[in-house]
Amino acid sequence: MSKAAKVALVAACVLVVGIVISGVAIAKVMKDGIKNADKDMVTVDFDFEEEISNIDVNAVTNDIYVLQSEDDKTHVQCIDFEDVEHDAYVDGDTLYVTTEVNRTLSDLDFFLNNTPKIYVYLPEEEYADLKIESTTSDVEVGPGFRFQNITVDVTTGDITMTTLDCEDTLEMNVITGDIALTDIDCVNLVYNVTTGCLDFDTVLASGDINIDITTGDINFIGDGANIYLECTTGDIYMILNSDKEFDVDVLTGDVNIPRDGNGDELGECVIDVTTGDVVIDVA
């Protein structure tokens, strides 16, 4: 893409982000509320003794927590309002958690101090795939799990993951939300976001890291075999564990990066930024 096209994209992206934020604001208000809630929240519990390999959570406005169980059983706890239908069941080797609710403008008084929540407590450390899909949700996963794949698709919400292993791909797709990853080992990491800041602390990928962000800052400590990062507006600060062949292209901003390392087996670090500073160190 030419530099002129990138400049045009900045203006276009600002407009798009404004539209997205306006649209998402309604969902956010539905979650955070505008006056005192006038309905009681209820707790619905589901307990399972079956062995499961996969977890599939599909929510609307619930914050979602995936945590270690304190016994040898799988537990799902849904905290929400009475008119919200929750279901949790095991089909084959997959645990499904779903919510069904139609919210109207008259429902906006439900949300102020109370945030609907879904807790998934898992007894084992190793599982196959974790999939989470929601409209407006904060998501917290870990610590202490190993998954084959992790996929999180959230329209609006923050994502926090701590002390996890992902044997294949960790993928996160967010329109508006901040991401905090701490002590993560994976093969491939894919992150797509429109608006949000990234805070990666000790994130290691034996394969590729692909990050595509429209607006947001990136603080990265860790490494990947190859790193590909594209950002329209945002500052990038990275501390890597190994030398790379650096290809950094910045239209407007300061660049401070190391020289290319020596050797034939160096990975790539390719960064394309329209507006922002890029600072990289190799520890």
Which residues neighbour 10 within 8 Å (Cβ) at sequence distance 6 or greater? Answer: 232, 233, 274, 275
pLDDT at 18: 52
Q: Evaluate if residue 37 carries a pLDDT over 90.
A: no
Let me know: does 119 contact 67? Beta carbons within 8 Å. yes
The whole-angstrom separation of Cα 257 and Cα 174 is 28
pLDDT digit string, tens, across residues 55-81: 999 998 899 999 999 998 999 999 988
Q: How far apart are CA 254 and CA 279, in angstroms?
A: 8
The string of pLDDT tens digits covering residues 98-149 is 987 655 444 444 454 578 999 999 999 999 999 999 999 999 999 999 999 9
b/e sequence 116-140, b meaning 16+ C-beta within 10 Å = bbbbbbbbeeebebbbbbbbbbbbb
Q: Give the Cα separation of 271 and 277 in Å (integer).
A: 11
Phi first, then psi: what are they for 27, rounded to 5°? Answer: -65, -40
Mean pLDDT value of segment 229-256: 97
Are the C-beta atoms of 159 and 152 separated by less than 8 Å? yes
Predicted local confidence at residue 261, as pLDDT: 83
Strands 267-275 and 198-215: unpaired
pLDDT at 28 over 60: no
Element (H, E) at 136: strand 129-136
Q: What is the mean pLDDT of the chain?
A: 87
**Confidence label for 254 from pLDDT (cuts 50, 70 and 90):** very high
Report the sign of the C-alpha dihedral through residues 71, 75, 77, 82, in that order.
Answer: negative
Q: What is the pLDDT of residue 241?
A: 95
- Which of 1-15, 106-120, 193-207, 260-274 tops mean pLDDT? 193-207
pLDDT of residue 6: 52
Query: Where in the chain are the domains?
Result: 147-283
Residue 248's pLDDT is 96
